[in-house]
Structure 1
């Protein structure tokens, strides 16, 4: 999913860079409401985990592999604003130190793997959390659903950007079919990884998961009400 230098023309790369800069600026302000004594330490761990797991590729087809994007996972663990900052840090380090994604395409990669996956992942998670039973065991399935959506969505955003400023003459329908086919499989893998990562934390410390806090608060309120009634 990392876009290298030269895939998009200069105007498109500049535009995506501006969008990324604005999004990161908004996230810097929004993260102040999310960071506390639990979220702050988790943010560093989340960034390190996503960086490490993105280095592990799994085969998708002949000559094709995929890796965890992690935007949905980051948003659910530490909140959408802090999650975007985590993803941005990971992508900057990968671009500057490991040549994974071009420097001129850094804004594009932040938009694709950061803004898109974090925003859509968080919205999908909140929607699934509202539908599923109001207990912490629902957090992992909701997270998996969110992760499943974000990967092909990110691929389709890339196709849209390529249709606007791609530097090679590739039929857009062919590109869309190839990207969607591969990234549906990658999304399934991301859903599995996200499910087990969230489920393992829910089993021991659900209070560390930002997205689970409303459910925990609801459960505590119900306990207090039942005790008061007794």
Structure 2
């Protein structure tokens, strides 16, 4: 659902840019509370994994494809504030390096996918885990539902932006119906990918899943008619469980394989937004991307004639660039948190 330049007029794009900048600023502060020594490295990996999976367009209807948005997945794995930053990093890399999603429309795309997608997904997820029985299956099921709902919600957000600043006079009712309809189908794919990924991480390291932190509630025992906390269990030795490094390396390997190899077999059909734009008559309002002559434009390496090799190299470069940029940002945020909470930063006044 990458909005190109030209779909939304300049004033609306500017307002969306201000909203996006404000959300990113708030998220930088909020992410300090979410990131710790375990999750900070994971956040960069999550951004790279989402970049990789977004290259895998899957068919959803005749002549239409979809791809992961990633808001629900990121929010559940690393927290909502960090998730906004993850998706924003992915969108920035895609726009600058691969000419995917307009640069003047970057604020629109961040507002649509990083803000609306994350907020709706995490709100649904938290609501479900509070009312359903506590357990790993609940987290996985809630992940599925949250991801499913977040995609048509993002489609509605685009429709609202188009209603305000669309550059072509089209029937908004028809655009809304078409956008929501096709993105419900895309949402099913998003939900499956999200639930499978969250379930896989929970199976090996539930402590690394932000949305599963409530699974570690202390066990209660009834003693003398009163409930008391049970003695804490002995920690599982590192050698007896999957190490953090193993999880990180496995995720990186999966991202590289998906972007470098599996992406070659992705559907070539237009995605949901592009298909709706074609059918409803506003595709011609799209402007040529500012970086259309980028060496990596359209997810291929310039001057590499072999399509498989060109796309694979572009995918590997994209994953690498995203994990470097994301990890740098999250490391800086984590370091800022450490500085804020260090003893030297605390002053005590004698009264």
- TM bracket (short chain): over 0.9
Gaps of 5+ in 1: none
> Which position in structure 1 is the counterpart of 2:163?
163
After superposition, the C-alpha distances for 1:95-145 in whole angstroms (9 at most, x for unaligned) are 011111000000000011100111111111100101111122211101111
Distance in 2 separating the partners of 1:190 and 1:82? 19
1:222 to 220, 223, 230: 220
Distance in 2 separating the partners of 1:43 and 1:226? 33
Deviation at 1:215, TM superposition (A): 2.0
Q: Does 1:27 align with 2:31?
A: no
Distance in 2 separating the partners of 1:20 and 1:80? 15
Gaps of 5+ in 2: 222-227, 233-351
The structure whose residues are more often helix, as a share, is: 1
TM-score (norm 1): 0.95
> Which position in structure 2 is the counterpart of 1:177?
177
Question: What SS is found at the alignment partner of 2:59?
Answer: strand
Q: Does 1:65 align with 2:69?
A: no
TM-score (norm 2): 0.63
> Which position in structure 2 is the counterpart of 1:115?
115
Question: Using CA pairs below 8 Å that are at least 6 residues apart, which structure has the higher relative contact order?
Answer: 2
Distance in 2 separating the partners of 1:147 and 1:207? 21
Distance in 1 separating the partners of 2:74 and 2:5? 26
> Which position in structure 2 is the counterpart of 1:186?
186
Distance in 2 separating the partners of 1:42 and 1:7? 35
Question: What SS is found at the alignment partner of 2:60?
Answer: strand
> Which position in structure 1 is the counterpart of 2:318?
none
Deviation at 1:59, TM superposition (A): 1.0
Distance in 1 separating the partners of 2:202 and 2:185? 26
Distance in 2 separating the partners of 1:166 and 1:135? 45
Larger Rg: 2
Q: Does 1:132 align with 2:132?
A: yes
After superposition, the C-alpha distances for 1:146-181 in whole angstroms (9 at most, x for unaligned) are 100100000001001101010011100110011011
Distance in 2 separating the partners of 1:104 and 1:189? 29
Question: What SS is found at the alignment partner of 2:229?
Answer: helix
Question: What SS is found at the alignment partner of 1:36?
Answer: coil
> Which position in structure 2 is the counterpart of 1:195?
195
- Aligned alpha-carbon RMSD (Å): 1.3
